[in-house]
């Protein structure tokens, strides 16, 4: 598997424009995360999907941000309109939750580690 | 509240020195996972280790070792005989079971290994 694939790798846009970031998770993974990394705030979880359903979007900064996962192999994070303070590196990650959420055995079953894409560096000028 | 604290912002060592990166976590849950990730200068996040809350055994992988102590809520990471290629930002992270598997990160420790 090629790993988590994000596109574009770099994006420079003008303030007010719409930006769409794309992510292809690892095949077979059922959880997908979008993170934002800045010097000031570190790695922040924006939204988390499980089986294509948004489970927790409490980290999404404001209504200008939206995320979708129309199928198991694709997700988008959209910013409209973009602002300079949105400049950051945006990471997508995927993992496999098995067995169902809420269970870890002593043998260590449960959620696997999250594999990260290479990130999209967004600059809003 | 769930939280991961990496108090060391930056560490600088000379090659071949041993170095320990500290991680302290907070969670009300008895079931959780802890992780370490490495972010080299190229920017990608590389998984290093996962440990669940039932398994307090320390782990060694080559020059890397991890010391998990529930009594002090710590999951420290030691690099033995550090090398220049170990220079990176290292993140400790936590998933707890009543969260919807949110993976939250500490603020990271920047390690600089000088030749």
Q: Is a pLDDT exceeding 80 seen at residue A106?
A: no
Of A33, A104, A119, which has the smallest distance from its Cβ to B31's Cβ?
Answer: A104
Q: A102, B98: Cβ pair inside 8 Å?
A: yes
Residue A117 neighbours by CB distance under 10 Å: 25
pLDDT at B103: 81
pLDDT per residue as tens digits for the range B92-108? 999 876 655 678 899 99
pLDDT band at A95 (very low <50, low <70, confident <90, very high): confident
Chain segment B39-48, per-residue pLDDT in tens? 999 999 999 9
Interval B52-89: pLDDT, tens: 888 888 888 899 999 999 999 999 999 999 999 999 99
Contact A112 B50 (CB under 8 A): yes
Residue B99 has a pLDDT of 56
Q: Read off the pLDDT band of A117 (50, 70, 90).
A: very high
Who's near B10: CB < 8 A, 6+ residues apart?
Answer: B109, B110, B111, B112
Q: Supply the mean pLDDT for chain A.
A: 88
B3 interaction partners in chain A (CB closer than 8 Å): none
pLDDT band (50, 70, 90) for residue A8: very high
**Least confident range of A21-30, A81-90, B54-63, B87-96:** B54-63
Residue keyed to tokens 């590196």? A89
Structure confidence at residue A23 as a pLDDT band (50, 70, 90): very high
Name residues whose C-beta falls within 8 Å of residue B97's C-beta, 6 or more positions apart in sequence.
A101, A102, A104, B29, B31, B32
B2 CA: distance to closest CA in chain A (Å):
13
């Amino acid at each position: 598997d090629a790993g988590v694939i994000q596109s574009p790798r770099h994006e420079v846009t003008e303030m007010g424009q719409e930006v769409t970031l794309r992510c292809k998770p690892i095949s077979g993974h059922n959880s997908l995360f979008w993170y934002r990394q800045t010097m000031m705030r570190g790695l922040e979880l924006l939204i988390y999907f499980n089986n294509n359903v948004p489970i927790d979007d409490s980290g999404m900064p404001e209504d200008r941000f939206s995320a979708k996962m129309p199928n198991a192999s694709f997700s988008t994070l959209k910013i409209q309109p973009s602002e300079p303070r949105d400049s950051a590196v945006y990471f997508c990650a995927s993992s496999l939750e098995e067995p169902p959420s809420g269970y870890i055995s002593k043998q260590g079953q449960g959620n696997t580690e999250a594999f990260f894409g290479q990130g999209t560096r967004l600059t809003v000028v | 509240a769930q939280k991961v604290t990496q108090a060391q912002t930056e560490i600088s060592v000379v090659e071949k020195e041993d170095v320990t990166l500290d991680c302290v976590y907070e969670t009300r849950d008895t079931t959780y996972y802890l992780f370490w990730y490495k972010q080299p200068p190229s920017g990608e996040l590389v998984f290093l280790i996962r440990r669940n809350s039932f398994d307090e055994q320390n782990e060694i992988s080559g020059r890397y070792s991890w010391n998990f102590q529930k009594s002090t809520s710590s999951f420290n990471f030691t690099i033995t005989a550090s090398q220049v290629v170990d220079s990176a930002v290292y993140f400790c992270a936590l998933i707890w079971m009543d969260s919807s598997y949110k993976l939250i990160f500490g603020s990271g420790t920047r390690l600089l290994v000088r030749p």
